[in-house]
Structure 1
Amino acid sequence: MDEQSTSTVDADAAHSVDHEPDNKNGHTHPKILQRLATVPDIKRDTSGITTQYIGAGIVNLGALAAGVCVAWSSTALPLLAPGYGETHTVRPDVSSEMTTPAAVVHNIVQNKISLTESEASWAASLLCLGAVWGSVPAGLISEYFGRKKTLLYLALPLLISWILVASSPNVYGLYVGRFVSGIAVGALSVAIPPYVEDIAEKQQLKTLANFYHVHFSCGVLFGYIIGLVENTSWLSVLCATIPIAFFVAFIFLPESPAYLMSQGKFHEAKAALRYYRGIDNDIDGEIKALREFLRFSAKNRVTFKELFGTTATLKALVVSFGLMIFQQMSGIYPILFYARKIFEKFGISLYPPSAAIILGFSLVSSTYFSTMLLKVVRRRVLLMISFSVMALNLGGLAIYYHMKASNMTTNNTWIPLLTLCLFVSFYAAGVGPIPWLMLREIFPPNVTRRATAITAGVHWFLAFGVTKLYQNLEDLIKPGWTLWHFSVTCLIGTLFVFFFVPETKGRTLQEIQNEFEGIHKKKRHRHVIEVESVSEA
C-alpha cells in the first residue's frame, strides 16, 4: 500500500484511538502479543481454515442458545398446562399422631404455575416480540462497542432470563423472562453473521455463514431432547448451560479484524486477521482491501431513511420483506413452538416428546445438507421447490385431520410425523436459509447491515404475530383449516418467488441492481470483417 493511503487511514482513525507503536524490529507491540498469547493456538493451523471453522462454531453457540429458547415452548408449556403436576414423595412428621400404614409414605400432586391456553400463547410468542426490540439496534450497538463485546454481553440477559423462568412465582415473571431472552435472541441473529463474515475467507464464507442455521437447528433439537426430563426447573438449568458455555469459549477469541481497523487499531487488527489466516497466508493484500472497504463504507454510509431512496434498494427491500412474510406465514414457528402439543392433538401412538426429537433431527440434517444444495442449485428453483413441497405436506396433514375427525381413519403415527418432518426438512433446505443469504447478494455492501437489521425486525415481528394468533386461529377454524391456511400461503409464496424474486446465484451485484432498476443490457453484436492481405507479386 502506498504511503499516502496509509497516512489517510491513520488520520481518519486518530480521533478514536491512540496508535500502538511498533518496536524497533517492526513487530507488533509487546502488549498486543501478550493479549493474543491468551488466545489458544489451534495446533498451529498454518492455513487458518481450521481456526475459522472453530471460531465460527464457537460464536454460533449463541445461535444454539437461540434455538433452545424456541424449543422451550414445545417442551415446557405442556408441563404447565392446568391439571399437570409433579408427583412428590412425602413422609409424615415423626411427632404426628398418625400411625396408620397409609400415613408412612404417600404421594401428592404439587402444582407450580398453571397456564391457560391464552397465557401459554403469550409465554411462547413474547420471545419473538422481544426479538424485535433486540434485532433492530443490534447492528449499531456492535459497530459502536465492538462485535465481540456485544456478543459476550448478550450471554447475560440469556442467563438472567432462564433464572426468571425457573424461579418465577407467577405468570408475569415468566413473561418477563421470555421477553428478556427474546431481546438476546433477536440481537444474536443480527450480531453473529457480521463477526463470521469478518473472520471468514471469501471461499469459506458461504459455508461458514450457514453455521448460524445449523447451530440454531441443533439448539431446537437439544431443547426437544432435554424435554424428556419433564421438569420445568431442570429444563431451565439445562438451557442456561448453553449461554454459559458460549461466554466461556468465546472470551478467548480475538475481536473482529474489521472492527479493530475501523477503530484505528491497525496492529491488533493485523494480529487478529493473522490468527484466522494462519502463518502460511499473506494477509497484506487483504489488509489493504479491508482498508479500502472501510474507507468506502465511511464515505457512503446510509441512514435507515435513505434505504428507501433508490429504486433498486426499495425493490430489494420488497423482495426481502416478501420472502420473510411467506417464510413466517408458512407456519414454521408455530410448528416448532408447539411440536409436542401438535403431536398430542393428532393422537399419535408414539410418545410425543420422542416424536418431537425425530422432528428436530429432520430439521438439523436438512439444514446441514442445505449448504451443499446451495452450491449447486439456483436460489429461485430451490425456493419454489421448497414452498411447493411444504404446501403439499401441510395439505396432506390437513386432509388426514379431517378424515380423523370424521372417523374415516384410526389414529396413525407415521402420517403426521412424516408430513411434518418433510415440512421442516424442505423449509430448512430452502425457505429457511435463502432469504438471509440473499441479503448479502441483493444489497450493496454499505447498505447490507442496515437492511439486515430492518429485515430481521420484520422477521421477528411476523414470527410473534403468527405464533400468538396460532392458538386463536386454531380455536376459530379448527386445526385442519389452520393447516390449509398455511398450505395456501406457501403456494402464494411460490408465485411470489416466480414473479418477483431475481436469481442471484452466479450473478454480480451490478447485474442484480440493473434488473431492479429495469435496465436490460442488450448483447452487443460483433461485426467481424476479415481482411485478406494480398501479397504483391
Structure 2
Amino acid sequence: MSTAEEGTVPAMELEGDASNTLTDNLNTNTNNISGTEVPENKNGNAKVLQRLDTVPDIKRDTSGITTQCIAAGIVNLGSFAAGVCTAWSSSALQLMTITTETHLDRVAEATNGTHPKLMLTSSEASWVASLLCLGALWGAVPTGLISEHFGRKKTLLYLALPLVVSWILVSSSPNVYGLYVGRFVGGVAVGAFSVGIPPYIEDIAEKHLLPTLANFYHVHFACGVLFGYIIGMVQSTSWLCVLCVSIPVAFFIAFIFLPESPTYLVSQGKYSEAKAALRYFRGIDNDIKSEMKSLKEYVLNYRKTRVTFKELFTTRTSVKALIVSFGLMVFQQMSGIYPVLFYAENIFKTFSISLNPPGAAIILGFCLVSSTYFSTMLLKTVRRRVLLILSFLFMAVSLGILGIYYHLKASRLSSDNTWVPLFTLCTFVSVYAAGVGPIPWLMLREIFPSNVTRRATAITAGFHWFLAFGVTKLYQNLIDMVRPGWTFWNFAVTCIIGAIFVYFFVPETKDKTLQDIQNEFNGIHKGKKHRHVIELESISEA
C-alpha cells in the first residue's frame, strides 16, 4: 500500500532467478526501452500479448483516466464482496438465533431448503459472526508474499473460489460446524482482499489519481455492507446466500479480462506484456516510454533497499511507525465498529425501535456509504490528526448517549423512541467512516518508506483482523455480563483514550515529506526554526 515517489512507480520484491532474469534482460535488451519488440521467449507469451490487444478497453479514453477508474471499480468488487460477508450476519443471525420468544416446538418444524433450519444459541451466533475475522487474519498476512510470486491478478482472481465455497457451505450445512467452516473460509478471502487489492491499484494508477482510486476500497466495502443490509429484507437465509454468491462470480468474470499488474510483469522480465498493460491503463495519447524506463529502474533497485521482517522490528523509525499504526488499529477496533456492523439488526431490536430493524440497518448502511464517499474530500483539506481526534470524540459522544438512553429506558424513565438509537448509531458510523476508518490505512503509505510499506501493511492488517475477531467475539459476552448500556459506555471510553493517544503519539502527515515524518520519529523538531534563524541572520547581514 505504498505511494510511489516522484518519478517512480511502486514495485514488488524480486527473488532469486527473477532478479537475475531482470538484470540480464536490462543488459541485453536495451532496445526494449525505446519501444522495440524483442523475442517472445524473453518478453512474454505471444497469446497473452494478442489477448491484451483485444481486451475491451475504452477506445475514446485517450487519457486513460476512465480506464483506470473502471479497472479500480472491477478489482474492488472483491472489497464489495467483503462488505457483503460482514453484513450477512446482521440479517441471517436474526433468523437463526434462539431467543426467549422462540417456540421450541416450532423450531423442529422449521425447514431451510432440504435441511432442518439451524437454530443457534447466542454463543454459537457470536462464533459464526467472529470467525469471519479470524479467517481474515490467516488470509491477510501471507497474501503479499503470495502475490509477489504468483502475480497480483492471479492471486486476486482465485480468491473468488474460497468465497463461492464459503457461501455453498453456509447455505447447505446441516449443522453449526459447517457454518463455522464456511465463515472461516470466507474470511480468508476477505483478509486477502484487504491486503491484495491496494497494491494492484497502486501499480495501475497514475500518481495524481492514486489517492482517489485508493479510497475505492473503502467505498466499495461500505457499498457491500449496504447491499448486505438491503438483501436482508428477503428474510430467508437460503436466498441471502444465493444473492451473496453472485458477487464473487461477477468479480471473477469481470476481472479476468483485465491485464496483470505492469510492475509484476516487469519483475518477471516480460517487458512486452508490461508495456501492453501499461498502454492499456494510460490511454492512447500518453507516451509510456519514460514510465517504462522508470519502472524498470525502480524494480531493479528495489532489491537493494528491501528489508526483511526482522529488520522491520530493529530499525528505530520503523518500530515507532509500527507503534503508531498498531495503536490506531487498537482504538479503531476497540471502538466497537465491527460489532455494530455485524449485529446492526439485533441492536435495533434490543432498543425496541418502532422502525423495522432491517429498514433501520439500511439507513445505517446508507450513512456509512455516504460518509465514506465524502471522506476523500475531507482528507484533502483537513489535517490527519484533527480529523482523527474529532472523529474519536464524536464517536464517544454518540456511544455515550446511546448508553444513557438504554439505562433510562431500562429504568422506565424514558419511553421507547426510534430516533435516539438510530441517530446515534448513524452518527457513530458516519464519523468513523470520515476519519477513524480510512486514516490508519492511509497513514501506512505516509509513515513508512516505500520499501517497508508492504511488509508493514501485512503485519498491521493481520493485527487489525485479530482485534476485530476478539472484539466481535467478546461483544456478546459483554452484553450478557454488563448489558448493552455499559457495553456502549466501554466503547465510548475507548474512543476517548484513542483521541488522547492521537494527540500525544500520532504525528501529522498531511503535506509532509517522509523525511520530515522520520525526523519527528527521531526527535528532530528544530528544522523550521533553524531555517527561520538563518533567514533572519541573512537579512541582518544584508
- Shift in alpha-carbon separation, 1:181–1:14, aligned structure 2, 3 A: farther
Provide the secondary structure at the position in 2 that maps to 1:355.
helix
Q: 1:305 aligns with which of 306, 310, 315?
A: 310
| Paired letter, 1:127 | L
Give me the whole-angstrom Cα distance separating, in 2, the residues matched to 1:13 and 1:245.
Answer: 39
- Three-state SS of the structure 1 residue aligned to 2:223 is helix
Map 1:459-470 → 2, pairs under 5 A:
459-470=464-475
- Equivalent position amino acid for 2:538 in 1: V
Q: Distance in 1 between matches of 2:256 and 2:245?
A: 17
The Cα of 1:286 is off from its aligned counterpart by: 1.6
Q: What is aligned with 2:326?
A: 321
Map 1:49-448 onto structure 2 (within 5 A).
49-82=65-98, 109-110=110-111, 112-448=117-453
Residue aligning to 1:457 = 462
Q: State whether residues 127 and 182 of structure 1, in contact with CA within 8 Å, keep that contact through their aligned partners in structure 2.
A: yes
CA spacing shift, 1:322–1:530, aligned 2, 3 Å: closer
* Shift of residue 292, structure 1, vs aligned partner: 2.4
C-alpha distance in 1 between matches for 2:172 and 2:434? 38
The residue that corresponds to 1:5 in the other structure is: none
- TM-score normalised over the length of structure 1: 0.90
Whole-angstrom distance in 2 between the partners of 1:223 and 1:32: 37
Contact 2:351 2:421 (C-alpha < 8 Å) held by counterparts:
yes
Aligned residue in 1 for 2:63: 47
Per the TM alignment, residue 333 of structure 1 is displaced from its structure 2 partner at its CA by 0.2
Q: 1:35 maps to what in 2? A: 51
Contact kept, 8 Å, 2:219 with 2:373, in 1: the verdict is yes
Deviations 1:339-362 (A, max 9, x none): 000000000000000000000000
Q: Which has the larger radius of gyration?
A: 1
- Report if aligned partners of 1:331, 1:466 keep a CA contact under 8 Å in 2: yes
CA shift in 2, pair 1:49/1:477, >3 Å:
same
Partner residue in 1 for 2:477: 472
- What's the counterpart of residue 13 of structure 2? none
- Work out the CA distance in 1 between the residues paired with 2:195 and 2:486: 34
Name the structure 2 match of 1:91.
none
Residue 22 of structure 2: aligned partner: 12
For residues 148-179 of structure 1, give each alpha carbon's deviation from its aligned partner in whole angstroms, at most 9, with x where no partner exists.
00000100000000000000000000000000
Among 471, 486, 489, the alignment partner of 1:484 is 489
SS in 1 for 2:538: coil
Rounded Cα–Cα distance in structure 1 between residues aligned with 2:21 and 2:477: 59
Given that 1:86 and 1:109 are in contact with CA atoms closer than 8 Å, whether structure 2 keeps it comes out as no
Shift of 1:13: 4.8
Q: Quick one: which amino acid aligns to residue 436 of structure 1?
A: W
Kindly state the Cα deviation for residue 285 of structure 1 after the two structures are TM-superposed.
Answer: 2.0
Q: Which residue of 1 aligns with 2:3?
A: none
Give distance in 2, aligned partners of 1:529 and 1:143: 54
SS at match of 2:208: helix
Aligned-partner Cα distance in 1 for 2:31–2:104: 64
- Cα 1:197–1:85, aligned 2, differ >3 Å: closer, same or farther? farther
Give per-residue Cα distances to partners, 1:207-227, cap 9 Å, x unaligned: 000000000000000000000
TM normalised by structure 2 equals 0.89
Write the deviation string for residues 249-274 of structure 1: whole angstroms up to 9, x where unpaired: 00000000011001111111111111
Q: For the residues of structure 1 that align with 2:278 and 2:103, how far apart are their CA atoms?
A: 54
Please give the secondary structure, in 1, of the residue aligned with 2:209: helix
Aligned length: 506
**Cα distance, 1:416–1:15 mapped onto 2, change above 3 Å:** same
- Tell me by how many angstroms 1:503 deviates: 0.6
* Alpha-carbon distance in 2 for matches of 1:210, 1:430: 12
Does the 8 Å contact 2:144/2:196 carry over to 1? yes
Q: Secondary structure at the match of 2:521?
A: helix
1:214/1:367 contact within 8 Å kept: yes
SS at match of 1:203: coil
Whether the aligned pair in 1 keeps the contact of 2:262 and 2:274 (CA below 8 Å) is: yes
1:523 aligns with 2:539: no
Q: Is this contact kept in 2: 1:38–1:252, CA < 8 A?
A: no
Unpaired segments ≥5 residues, structure 1? 2-7, 89-106, 533-537
Asked if the contact 1:13/1:263 (under 8 Å) is kept, the reply is: no
Q: Kindly, what percent of the aligned residue pairs are identical?
A: 70
Q: Aligned to 1:297, what secondary structure does the other structure show? A: helix
Measure the CA separation in 1 of the matches of 2:520 and 2:472.
35
Shift of 1:87: 13
Given that 2:19 and 2:267 are in contact with CA atoms closer than 8 Å, whether structure 1 keeps it comes out as no
Distance 1:288 1:507 in 2: 28
Cα offset, 1:12, TM superposition: 3.3
- 1:531, 1:164 → 2: CA distance? 79
Q: Deviations over 1:85-129 (max 9, x none)?
A: 9999xxxxxxxxxxxxxxxxxx96445111000000000000000
Paired with 2:234 and 2:30, the residues of 1 have a C-alpha distance of 53
Aligned pair partner of 1:512 in 505, 511, 517? 517
In 1, the alpha carbon distance for the partners of 2:306 and 2:474 equals: 38
Q: Deviations over 1:305-364 (max 9, x none)?
A: 111111110000000000000000000000000000000000000000000000000000
CA RMSD of aligned residues (A): 2.6
